Structure 1
Amino acid sequence: MLTCSTPELLSLIAHRRSLKQSLLKPDPIPREQIEQMLEAANWAPNHGASEPWRFAVYAEDSRKALGETFARSYRLGVAKEKYNPQAEEEQRKRVWLAPVWIAIGMQPGGRHPEWEEVAAVGAAVYGAQLVAASLGLSAFWASGMPVTHPNTARFVGWEPPTKLLGFVYVGRPAVPWPKGARGDWRQKVVWHWGNP
């Protein structure tokens, strides 16, 4: 049986960070590192072995078409009275702030409630994020309107019932690795252990 030390695993979990695009270096990420992230994602727990996660990876020049898609999705999705040309341009340019963008899809197996399939995709993304952290990478799950709009889903190549749940953008931090903070886990647990 393969094991790792519990303290090392807990340290990695506490080490994971998701940094905003403005805090990332534009430097390319080796494809092998993205492949390691996606292999980890593929081992997520899922009910009935449905394996509902789907991914599409955009790097290098392929980001140009992705940026144009985000801009168009913004135009299509925002109310006319709230449209802002600068916001549209920001959608177009944002793809250049992170070297890798991974579309996150959920393809339901049909036998289980949708929430279970979404939870499985969430577990898959978390596995990928942990591997990213072990490699010194930030992996941020973006889920705003332009990145989840049906226009973006069609660009990625996903039609219903497959759902686009957002994008994980990956990059090396341009700032010192941030410290994390969480409230005490004991304040979030009610124990029912043993006899009443």
Structure 2
Amino acid sequence: MIKDIIRNRRAVFPAQYNEDTISKEEISTILETANWAPNHRRTEPWRFKVFHGISQAALGKFMAETYKSTTDKFSERSYQKMIENPTKAGCVIAICMQRDPKESVPEWEEIAATAIAVQNMWLTASEMKIGSYWSSPGVKEHLGDFINLEDGERCLGFFYMGKYDGELPEGTRKSPIEEKTEWI
């Protein structure tokens, strides 16, 4: 039931991933569900750049070196995580948003539609027992220095995916929905 998939979805980080590979077919299945996200005026603003295989190491090196050259608060730990995490993952997908050139809808709606596309991916990956999480490091703003981005396209973050062993912890919320809802 979709309600159970939603409730059981968790952020699963590269440190939790095992060595099992994610096939191109599995990645394609996950991406296909992104394409069914609702969006205003059918702008379909989501764009994805898939790093799978040897390109993951290049992404890690780019992110780490970009971090090193752009931060005022360098941390060796953060630098190492940026190098290592992409190669610990079975796949890393850059989450990009292509702004409608006509600006027929507000930009926030295109960002929201892209986020919904990622939620579709996350739920599908979860159902397939593939762990994932959305990371938004500051270096995302520099992705266009590494790969081609179209005019009006920007990176909103990175979607890490990997297979994992064992069970995930039960989810919690700080407060029930009733405390966040006002009936009028």
TM-score (norm 2): 0.92
For the Cα contact (< 8 Å) 1:24–1:175, is it kept in 2? Answer: no
**Structure 2 match to 1:54:** 47
1:71-115 CA-partner distances (Å, limit 9, x unpaired)? 121023201xx2244532332122112110000000011211110
What is the Cα-based RMSD across aligned positions, in Å? 1.5
1 CA distance for matches of 2:171 and 2:81?
Answer: 28
Distance between the aligned counterparts of 1:99 and 1:112, measured in 2? 35
Structure 1 position 160, deviation (Å): 4.4
- The residue that corresponds to 2:180 in the other structure is 188
1:136 pairs with one of 123, 129, 151: 129
Asked whether 1:170 is paired with 2:161, we answer yes
Matches within 5 A, 1:114-125: 114-125=107-118
Q: How many angstroms does 1:126 deviate by?
A: 0.2
Structure with larger Rg: 1
CA 1:139–1:85: 2 relative to 1, 3 Å: closer
Contact 1:77 1:149 in 2 (8 A): no
Shift of 1:153: 3.0
Any unmatched runs of 5+ in structure 2?
Answer: none
Tell me if the contact between 2:98 and 2:153 (Cα under 8 Å) persists in the aligned partners: yes
What is the one-letter code of the residue matched to 2:114? V
1:141-152 → structure 2 map (5 Å cutoff)? 141-146=134-139, 148-150=140-142, 152=143
Separation in structure 2 between the aligned mates of residue 84 and residue 9 of structure 1, nearest angstrom? 41
Query: Alpha carbons of 1:18 and 1:164: their partners in 2 closer, same or farther (altered >3 Å)?
Result: same
Partner of residue 154, structure 1: 145
2: CA distance, partners of 1:178 / 1:100: 23
| 1:101 is the counterpart of 2:92 | yes
Residue 175 of structure 1: how far off its partner (Å): 4.0
Partner residue, 1:91: 82
Question: What is the correspondence of 1:35-54 to structure 2 with a 5 Å cutoff?
Answer: 35-54=28-47
Give the SS at the match of 1:138.
Answer: strand
Letter of the 2:117 partner, please give it.
Answer: A
**Counterparts of 2:160 and 2:137, CA distance in 1:** 13
Query: Could you tell me which amino acid in structure 1 is paired with residue 62 of structure 2?
Result: T
- Measured in 2, the distance between the counterparts of 1:133 and 1:113 equals 31
Matched with 2:3 is: 10
